[in-house]
Structure 1
Amino acid sequence: MKNKYRNTDSAIKAGELLLNEQPFVFVLSSKEKGSRCDNCLEKGKVLKCSGCQFVHYCGRSCQKDAWPDHKWECANLKRVAPKVIPDAARMLAKIINKLSRGDGHSYRAFYTGNSFRMWKDLMSHYSDLKTDKKRMDHFSSLCMVLFEFLKDLSLPNTVELMGMYGRMVINSFTILDIDMNSIGTGIYLAASILDHSCNPNAVATFDGRTISIRATKDLTCLDWSQIRISYIDLMKTPYERQTELLENYYFLCQCDRCMDETQLKMVHAGKCLNTSCDSPVQIPWKENCQLVRKPDNNTNGASETVESESNHNGLADELTANISEANDVIRCDECRTKYTDKHVEDFVKAMEFTELHLQSMKEASVAYVDVCKYCLERQEGVLHPLNVMHAQTLDHAFDALIQVQLWQKACVYADMLIPCFRFYYGDRHPLLGLLHLKYGKILLYQMDLDKALNHFKLSEKILKITHGDKHPLYREELMPLLRQAMMESSSM
């Protein structure tokens, strides 16, 4: 499983492939069991392994290809059946097996002609794990599962096992299908060299289990220490992004985007009451609402201060200017339009209502059309169009409307959602390209050909950069639709 990588450090154009890599170990998500091949991860008709009756393959070729790694697991899965082994336990078991029986310790994953990463090069954050109760509880539960599952293999001692666990949770990539849905987890040794930024210059995409790293911006040269991808979803407040990164990767993100004053003004902004003014209005709506974490300069970054809506740098003076001398009247900083107590109350209620229902939809892992509709009705004319809660509600609503095939309303929300995606994800993000593609498909179905063609072309510009013109999403999904739209539009 040799890697493909860029073999020159000359200037890079957006869309160029930097790295193509097979996983060190990987597992198909249990929710995809029976619908995807456990080897190539393709969706379709699959057959059970005759031994364990647990994993599935799309054909004899994949079964044969997977057998060297599966044969030890096959017997163990059969022995513990009908118990289902959690995905994380299967992943850790595969790591243990590869390190103890295979070439795991010696395997080199090259990202240049003479630069490579090995398993030992991955960070385990051992000391951070020991103080992380949630992770330690998870580790303890996995140990109990592994003790029962790996009867034929001696487990490493606790220190070694926790080091393996740390390397696994810190360095795993979520494997995505062409619709950017999670279908599995993999460890990619070479790709693990990439650091995070909320304003990345590269993107990781997947074709089956293969990861590809492509530049999304023009770069003067290939310097792997300067290549950045995003580890997380970006459509959140800087504080939420920083918190997620702290909890999962143990670092405080201080990228230029997290510290950007423009974004801080926008994420919880109200809409100006002056219909001809697009300026965001800062309205305190929750006590100690935290927007960003900043390092404490007095302690050399060892701890951080939390900046709220009413005190973060750069906005404090602006918010003070928004409040009149004695009456605490909130005004638009741009046009000075005054907010009444009733307007402020409407904003606070809309934010509280939206926050509550976004959380419930997140926990349910599903969006509800009626709930989204009620939230958007409360937000209309109250929340700024780029307010992050408004953007998240639109995103849920668009997906929910597609599920129930309410195409006309989905189009309305798609038009509102596109500027939000551009603001939070940037102009060259796979999710923006996918949004244009989905919107174009709906418009083509409705025979709005000119508009459909426009969105397919916008999608093509993005996906050619993020995925490349050989990827199935580009070649088999987008291009046939683009050609169909062009043919039907020319025949009208």
Structure 2
Amino acid sequence: MRSKFRNTTSEIKPGDLLLSEQPFAYVLSSKEQGNRCDNCLEKVKLLKCSGCQFVYYCGRSCQKDAWGDHKWECPNLKRVAPKVIPDGARMLAKIINRLNRGDGHSFRSFYSATSFRMWKDLMSHYPNLKADKKRMDHFTSLCVVLYEFLKDISLPNTVELMGLYGRMVINSFMILDTDMNSIGTGIYLASSIVDHSCEPNAVVTFDGKTINIRAIQNMSYLDWNQIRISYIDMMKTPYERQNELLSSYYFLCGCHRCIDGNQVKYVHAATCLNENCEAPVEITWNENCQLVLRPETEGSTQNGVSNGIKNGDFQKQNGGCDEEEIDNDEFVHCKECGTKYTEKHVEAFIKIMEFTKQHLKNMEGSSVAYVDVCNYCLDRHEGVLHPLNVMHAQTLDHAFEAHVQMQLWEKACVYAERLIPCFRFYHGDKNPLLGLLYLKYGKILLYKMDLEKAVAQLKLAEKIIKTTHGESHPLYREQLVPLLQQAMAEAD
């Protein structure tokens, strides 16, 4: 199926669909196996493939639609059972099969009337891979699995196979459900042309396995060289974002948001001791904690880096304290109102930052609801960490989700209110995650019969989700609109 694209000469408005595309190759995540259809990725009643006893479909239609891709995979999955093929190996096997037996080498995915991308157009980053020990170890382990799994397919030589692997890992998209949780991985040829920015002018959403790219800013016309999406989670320090992009995509992001001192001064900030002052106060809490990396040359995003800015460095750069003064705690003060910090205040801030960092690490990637841990952390944050401090924001995010999971609605509402400014600061005003937060908060308020606030939150959700997902998306049509109609009807 060819991709659907927008005419490049017309004016672009927020919410306009720029590109809609089916995957070149994709896999359902193994953690979702048996919960979702392997073809359409919908979460419905499923039937197991009678051949391999591994793949599930929602009905005959999806089974028939997937057979061209599954018929070679089915006997191989059956032969290696009960072993489970890792997602990366299964994806690479699907790519190899399409290139060897299908239209993989000739397939064109269009992003304009005359412009398209083919498999060969994807960059493999071969030299970067060779120097990346973690990726090379992963590649080696996948090769072992592939040689056992693909008995009936002649595998490429090691160099060619590494080229395929490089194209796969660099150009893959995480396929997300309506809650923005990862449910699979896909290669989308046309969509892979879009570069990253931490200040994107477009967003990616999914409807099943279909990827949709929509504008979130006004543009006089569509220029694909200027379209930017975010590849990563934005609620991190600039250094953490840059480091993730370097390790995953081999480039250093030098966008304005990464090197702008205005955001950097908030990410590890203390709150001002003056209750009437909202300014961030920068305190050196970890000498080795870098906040941002700068390109060697202005505008460079591909080469090495210099000017690593560490926690507290902005105090020195902005004409505050010199190094000797910063080491002396009595000179730590708010640059807005001049309120000074004692040694006791500085020590308390350092301990809480270290404490929070450890607990965030423990909670990372876990599905367990850490209600008590989150509450304890946030109680200690009060009056110490700035409301936009990234560790405080991440803890609020965990706390909100934990309380929703445990159906502790009152506290969930408290944390939602405090989390919204953090999402707006880190993700931006037109991000799907902010829209989902408004939606979840509005749904809770509706359940609590706080109807006026529920309507207000759901209208905020509608404004964002209508732009990021479109009116035909199930999230908008089947979840948001009925909730908003119900809230408005009951409020009358």
Per the shorter chain, which TM-score range?
A: over 0.9
Deviation of 1:319 after TM superposition, in Å, equals 4.9
Alignment check: 8 A CA contact 1:310 1:316 kept: no
The superposition leaves residues 296-345 of structure 1 with CA deviations (integer Å, 9 ceiling, x where unpaired) of 34998742121112335984423549958977421110000111111111
User: What amino acid is the match of 1:435?
Assistant: L
Q: Which residue of 1 aligns with 2:288?
A: 288
Alignment check: 8 A CA contact 1:261 1:314 kept: no
Confirm or deny that 1:107 pairs with 2:107.
yes
Q: Which residue of 1 aligns with 2:121?
A: 121
Q: Which residue of 1 aligns with 2:146?
A: 146
The superposition leaves residues 167-200 of structure 1 with CA deviations (integer Å, 9 ceiling, x where unpaired) of 0000000000000000000000000000000010
Confirm or deny that 1:408 pairs with 2:413.
no
Once the two structures are superposed, the pairs formed by residues 10-409 of structure 1 within 5 Å of their partners are 10-297=10-297, 302-305=303-306, 306-312=308-314, 315-320=317-322, 323=325, 328-409=330-411
Calculate percent identity across the aligned residue pairs: 69
Deviation of 1:2 after TM superposition, in Å, equals 1.5
Q: Which residue of 2 aligns with 1:450?
A: 452
The superposition leaves residues 209-234 of structure 1 with CA deviations (integer Å, 9 ceiling, x where unpaired) of 00000001111210000000000000
Unaligned runs of 5+ in 2: none
Distance 1:310 1:468, change over 3 A: same
User: What amino acid is the match of 2:450?
Assistant: D
User: What amino acid is the match of 1:28?
Assistant: L
Q: Which residue of 1 aligns with 2:5?
A: 5
The superposition leaves residues 243-293 of structure 1 with CA deviations (integer Å, 9 ceiling, x where unpaired) of 000000000000010011110110000000000100000111011210000
Alignment check: 8 A CA contact 2:203 2:215 kept: yes
Alignment check: 8 A CA contact 1:322 1:329 kept: no
Distance 1:270 1:83, change over 3 A: same
Q: Which residue of 1 aligns with 2:426?
A: 424
Distance 1:45 1:299, change over 3 A: closer
User: What amino acid is the match of 2:65?
Assistant: D
Deviation of 1:378 after TM superposition, in Å, equals 1.0
Secondary structure in 1 matching 2:186: strand
User: What amino acid is the match of 1:382?
Assistant: V
TM-score by length of 1: 0.97
Deviation of 1:207 after TM superposition, in Å, equals 0.3
Alignment check: 8 A CA contact 1:282 1:319 kept: no
User: What amino acid is the match of 1:259?
Assistant: I
User: What amino acid is the match of 1:340?
Assistant: T
Distance, in Å, in 1 between the alignment partners of 2:17 and 2:49 is 36
The superposition leaves residues 427-480 of structure 1 with CA deviations (integer Å, 9 ceiling, x where unpaired) of 000000000000000000000000000000000000000000000000000000
Distance, in Å, in 2 between the alignment partners of 1:321 and 1:464 is 50
Alignment check: 8 A CA contact 2:469 2:476 kept: yes
Secondary structure in 1 matching 2:173: strand
User: What amino acid is the match of 2:487?
Assistant: A
Alignment check: 8 A CA contact 2:27 2:185 kept: yes
Distance 1:58 1:187, change over 3 A: same
Off by >6 Å, runs of 4+ in structure 1: 298-301, 324-327
User: What amino acid is the match of 1:132?
Assistant: D
Of 282-291 and 453-462, the range deviating more from structure 2: 282-291
The superposition leaves residues 38-96 of structure 1 with CA deviations (integer Å, 9 ceiling, x where unpaired) of 00000011010011110000000000000001000001101111111000000000000
How big is the alpha-carbon RMSD for the aligned residues of Structure 1 and Structure 2? 1.7
TM-score by length of 2: 0.97
Deviation of 1:24 after TM superposition, in Å, equals 0.1
User: What amino acid is the match of 1:117?
Assistant: R
Q: Which residue of 1 aligns with 2:465?
A: 463
Secondary structure in 2 matching 1:214: strand
Alignment check: 8 A CA contact 2:291 2:309 kept: yes
Alignment check: 8 A CA contact 1:323 1:331 kept: no
Distance, in Å, in 1 between the alignment partners of 2:238 and 2:316 is 15
User: What amino acid is the match of 1:409?
Assistant: K
Aligned length: 490
Distance, in Å, in 2 between the alignment partners of 1:313 and 1:103 is 58
User: What amino acid is the match of 1:2?
Assistant: R
Distance, in Å, in 2 between the alignment partners of 1:56 and 1:337 is 63
User: What amino acid is the match of 1:360?
Assistant: N
Distance, in Å, in 2 between the alignment partners of 1:326 and 1:32 is 54
Alignment check: 8 A CA contact 2:40 2:62 kept: yes
Of 9-18 and 295-304, the range deviating more from structure 2: 295-304
Deviation of 1:366 after TM superposition, in Å, equals 3.6
Alignment check: 8 A CA contact 2:272 2:279 kept: yes
Deviation of 1:364 after TM superposition, in Å, equals 3.4
Alignment check: 8 A CA contact 2:7 2:222 kept: no
Alignment check: 8 A CA contact 2:316 2:322 kept: no
Distance 1:312 1:303, change over 3 A: farther
Match of 1:474 among 460, 470, 476: 476
Distance 1:241 1:295, change over 3 A: same
Alignment check: 8 A CA contact 1:5 1:20 kept: yes
User: What amino acid is the match of 1:9?
Assistant: T
User: What amino acid is the match of 2:463?
Assistant: K
